[in-house]
Structure 1
């Protein structure tokens, strides 16, 4: 097969098709008509000698060949973008780029407000598309479909680049009329009714039960280490929900201190240091090696790092 007979634009079509798995949506994203997209898919099938996408009851599903091609395709397109990208620095002040960032509501509540304030001054037309950890997999992040993942992780692919933004401790939130307000110690803590919050890693939190001590995360692992166990009454995946639930008499939420501090002006809640030691955790920023040398990506990483450092020092 001669490369001069291949329309490289078809590779862009295929990249979007494999991501969206929908001809109409792919055409809209590329700014072309649906017939043009369908014709592109037909030509791709002829080029690769494979259906690539097959219609099923669950929609368009990629074939085994297409699944093999997808990561290679991402690498090729990233390399092409790097070759044709202007050598000048990224002009944030005039850019309309959309940065896709995957983070939990912890990151949204603690980092993003300050980041948006910074962007409003330096890059008013830059757009942030915030995704949750359950929206995509590590594989899709590795393929460069997401610019950054900002979260706390037990593990991540070795190919990822990463940077620690800050370390955080844990704090307890409970209502002012909670009996703990008059007698807060380890014994009364474990006897209280607790709000559990997911570790918010990629895919974490599925099928959790109170008996899964080793899967419950930092708080319960710290209690297990000293031979204690708390009574979990509510499971949630959102720190802001945990803070609201803590307003109910008898419930306690043990969450990261920076998230708890967002309730410092709430007269209905008391914030206390846990009556036992819980190891600190790191909030990390991670990204695909495909984006490492992209000028715009280097700029947003630098800005986020500076915002995080200023947050720690303030």
Structure 2
């Protein structure tokens, strides 16, 4: 297909080039040779009358024109993909589809297991690719690289539809035989204790850090970890405590020697949302998997 003498396949190449800033990586993604990709870049440069990618030191960087094109190209390709994905219906017993989901470790521990249980009867017709959340997960939706985002409400973009799946609150966990594992937790003890803290990314903490900052409450952090599921293991055998989601604390308490303690101050509950690109609102497959998640959330609430 051509538009103003531009082969639309070149837009796919440009989208990948913008994402990777690398001719070799884009060639690998598109199963092309580097010479073919270099040729495609040359044609794009000629069409847009701009170099698009320029070498700066040892790296390739985007030109101003490429930065301006970035969201527009992603938007066009997402629209095309959504239009092509539309079918009269979606039969999970016959259709073969992989759903790409942006999820946190928290979601993997809570709602994903019941989702997998509900989709198990469909065998390999239904597959999942779980993507690690980033500081800007909405970008993956915008670029069409993810079908759904599972995240707290404050993380979701106002540009796309979303619904509440369930809510949760926070509590503390402590080693059952440790200093804080046998008595109710006081505010003084919370301030005095060493804390294990989960960092959602190298540059920032998780939602609990945001909420505690809003309350003006500080923690004496002794251990920071990038792995959400490691938090209870880093508490066991010590006198440290950790602020965690209640649902995961209750799951961990079944298998580890930890006590689940109430926070000594009120802390805002959070809503776990499901979000999708508005161009995919009528995609039968997306409609089906959204319903599966709503069933899984209802199943969680009954436990």
Fold in common (TM above 0.5): yes
d(CA) in 1 for partners of 2:77, 2:42: 21
How far apart are 1:108 and its partner, in Å? 1.4
Compute the RMSD of aligned alpha carbons: 2.8
d(CA) in 1 for partners of 2:123, 2:74: 27
Where 1:234 maps in the other structure, the secondary structure is strand
d(CA) in 2 for partners of 1:215, 1:181: 21
Q: How does 1:66-145 map to 2 (within 5 A)?
A: 66-122=66-122, 124-134=124-134, 137-145=137-145
Which residue, out of 248, 255, 269, partners 1:266? 255
Which residue, out of 199, 203, 206, partners 2:203? 206
Aligned position for 1:8: 8
Residue by residue over 1:14-59, the C-alpha shift from the partner in whole angstroms, topping out at 9 and shown as x without a partner, is 2222223322332333233333222222211111111122233453
Aligned position for 2:198: 197
Q: Which runs of 5+ in 1 are unaligned?
A: 209-213
d(CA) in 2 for partners of 1:232, 1:83: 49
d(CA) in 1 for partners of 2:169, 2:259: 17
How far apart are 1:159 and its partner, in Å? 0.7
d(CA) in 1 for partners of 2:279, 2:171: 38
d(CA) in 2 for partners of 1:99, 1:6: 31
Residue by residue over 1:103-150, the C-alpha shift from the partner in whole angstroms, topping out at 9 and shown as x without a partner, is 221111112222223333235243322222337553343333322221
C-alpha spacing 1:82/1:128, structure 2 compared with 1 (3 Å): closer
d(CA) in 2 for partners of 1:68, 1:86: 29
More displaced stretch, 275-284 vs 85-94: 85-94
Instruction: Give the aligned length.
Output: 300
d(CA) in 2 for partners of 1:95, 1:21: 35
Q: How does 1:106-255 map to 2 (within 5 A)?
A: 106-122=106-122, 124-134=124-134, 137-186=137-186, 187-198=188-199, 200=200, 206=203, 216-219=209-212, 221-222=214-215, 224=216, 229-255=218-244
Which residue, out of 264, 283, 306, partners 2:295? 306
How far apart are 1:216 and its partner, in Å? 2.9
CA contact (8 A) 1:142 1:287 kept: no
Q: How does 1:272-291 map to 2 (within 5 A)?
A: 272-291=261-280
Where 1:180 maps in the other structure, the secondary structure is coil
CA contact (8 A) 2:173 2:243 kept: yes
Where 2:293 maps in the other structure, the secondary structure is helix
CA contact (8 A) 1:161 1:287 kept: yes
Q: Which runs of 5+ in 2 are unaligned?
A: none
How far apart are 1:251 and its partner, in Å? 0.7
More displaced stretch, 103-112 vs 145-154: 145-154
d(CA) in 2 for partners of 1:115, 1:166: 14
d(CA) in 2 for partners of 1:311, 1:215: 22
C-alpha spacing 1:127/1:31, structure 2 compared with 1 (3 Å): farther
CA contact (8 A) 2:149 2:275 kept: yes
Aligned position for 1:211: none
d(CA) in 1 for partners of 2:54, 2:123: 42
d(CA) in 2 for partners of 1:64, 1:251: 49
CA contact (8 A) 2:181 2:258 kept: no
